Amino acid sequence: MFSRALFAIAALTPLVAAHGALKFATVDGVRYNAPNPNGDSGDFTIRAVNDINPVKGTDNPDLNCGHNAQKAALVADAQPGSVVGFAWANGEGGTWVHNTGPVMTYMASCGDGGCANFDAGNAQFFKIAEQGKKADGTWTMAELNAGPDATTTITLPSDLPAGEYLIRHELIAMQLGMSPGGAEFYPACFQVRLASPSRTAAELPSGSNVVTFPGGYGDSDPGILDADIYNPGHDYVFPGPPVISSEATNPAPSDPSADPSNPPADTASVPSGTTPTSSPASAAPAPTSGNGCGGNPNRKVKRVVKRIVRQGPLITKKKRSVAAAAHQKRVEQYVPTVNSRVMRGLKV
């Protein structure tokens, strides 16, 4: 009987080692340990779970933060753009063993009441990162197999409003995901306080960018049920909503003078394929021709009018029609007098 009991324990050991939970998280290198499974999360920033086995089924209420996850009493301080790392351990506290499937990270605002009293079942989660297959065909999850303190890292969005947030970090082990119900979910929730961003904060994501858990996935969704998960060259499709955009797709306003669709006020637009030309200067009215005494009156009138024009205001393309009209009227007032004196042979 004793030998049979030892055999049962030995048979269970690989199963225990294959399962596990979040071991610790880091924020810009500062480490925050997770409570032991079935432990008290009162002095922790990571919510305690009471079971190291995977969550099964997309309609399971434990899909939000893990098996019977308990609210943590503390929050970790973070900044916009902080680098956050996550380390997972197997059921014996050693190195994580699963290496196939996605690593995904969500956030949800805890509202004005803070995370210590926030029910994760009401969380509006938005996805901030998803990591799957790499160029060499291995999975990001396999990085956790490097040692008991191996981590995967993500960067927090740089433009979220200040406040307290749940960071929901999730591994989906897909070694059995070829069959319905085979996917193994390992979610964990880390409570953080995000300081004000260095620029104007965006609004919280909403609409199709947010999901609840359960509700965010379906058992037959691509990425949850995947018959080709081990086929070479297979393109994995991430389940859930898309990753939200951040500052990279919301740049600061640019200099309007550099915008070709908004030329400076004193620059005229030129149609494509044409060459810009200067506006012609306003010309003085042509004097009346005549053949009176005193030589060629037409040439004399031109000289006098030319002198009057030189003494008048300079007409350029920047002057408006009012100034040009006033100057032209002045010239016209002089022309009859000049003509009369030229025709009578008087000096002008």
Long-range contacts of 281-289 (CB under 8 A, 24+ apart): 281/315, 281/316, 282/315, 282/324, 282/327, 282/328, 284/308, 284/309, 284/328, 284/331, 285/328, 285/331, 285/332, 285/335, 287/335, 287/338, 287/339, 288/335, 288/339
Assign 3-state DSSP to the chain and report helix, strand, coil percentages, each to 5. 25, 20, 55
From residue 56, give the alpha-carbon distance in Å to each of 49, 173, 178, 184.
15, 11, 14, 6
- Per-residue pLDDT, 275: 33
How far is 281 from 313, CA to CA, in rounded Å? 12
User: Phi then psi for 336, rounded to 5 degrees?
Assistant: -60, -40
- Model confidence at 323, pLDDT cuts 50, 70, 90, reads low
How far is 23 from 95, CA to CA, in rounded Å? 10
Question: Is pLDDT at 47 greater than 60 in this prediction?
Answer: yes
Question: Is pLDDT at 299 greater than 90 in this prediction?
Answer: no
- Per-residue pLDDT, 198: 72
Question: Is pLDDT at 313 greater than 50 in this prediction?
Answer: no
- Model confidence at 197, pLDDT cuts 50, 70, 90, reads confident
Question: Is pLDDT at 167 greater than 50 in this prediction?
Answer: yes
The pLDDT tens digits for 223-273 are 999 999 999 889 999 999 999 986 433 333 333 333 333 333 333 333 333
Q: Which of residues 61 and 262 earns the better pLDDT score?
A: 61
Please say whether the beta carbons of 280 and 324 come within 8 A: no
Question: Is pLDDT at 282 greater than 50 in this prediction?
Answer: no
The pLDDT tens digits for 100-132 are 999 999 999 999 999 999 999 999 999 999 999
Q: What is the 3-state secondary structure (H, E, C) of 212-264?
A: CCCCCCCCCCCCCCCCCCCCCCCCCCCCCCCECCCHHHCCCCCCHHHCCCCCC
Average pLDDT over residues 39-46: 93
Opening angle at CA 50, ends 45 and 54, nearest 5:
100
- Model confidence at 308, pLDDT cuts 50, 70, 90, reads very low
Question: Is pLDDT at 283 greater than 50 in this prediction?
Answer: no
Q: Which of residues 243 and 5 earns the better pLDDT score?
A: 243
The pLDDT tens digits for 238-252 are 999 999 986 433 333
How big is the chain by its Cα radius of gyration, in Å?
40
β-pair partners for 106 = 127, 168
Domains of the chain: 2-250 (2.70.50.70), 280-348 (no CATH)
- Model confidence at 200, pLDDT cuts 50, 70, 90, reads confident
- Per-residue pLDDT, 42: 87
Nearest C-alpha neighbor of 138 from the set 103, 92, 163: 103
- Model confidence at 3, pLDDT cuts 50, 70, 90, reads very low
Q: Which of residues 8 and 57 earns the better pLDDT score?
A: 57
Percent of the chain with pLDDT over 70: 66
Average pLDDT over residues 308-314: 47
How far is 327 from 313, CA to CA, in rounded Å? 7
Instruction: Give the mean pLDDT of the chain.
Output: 78
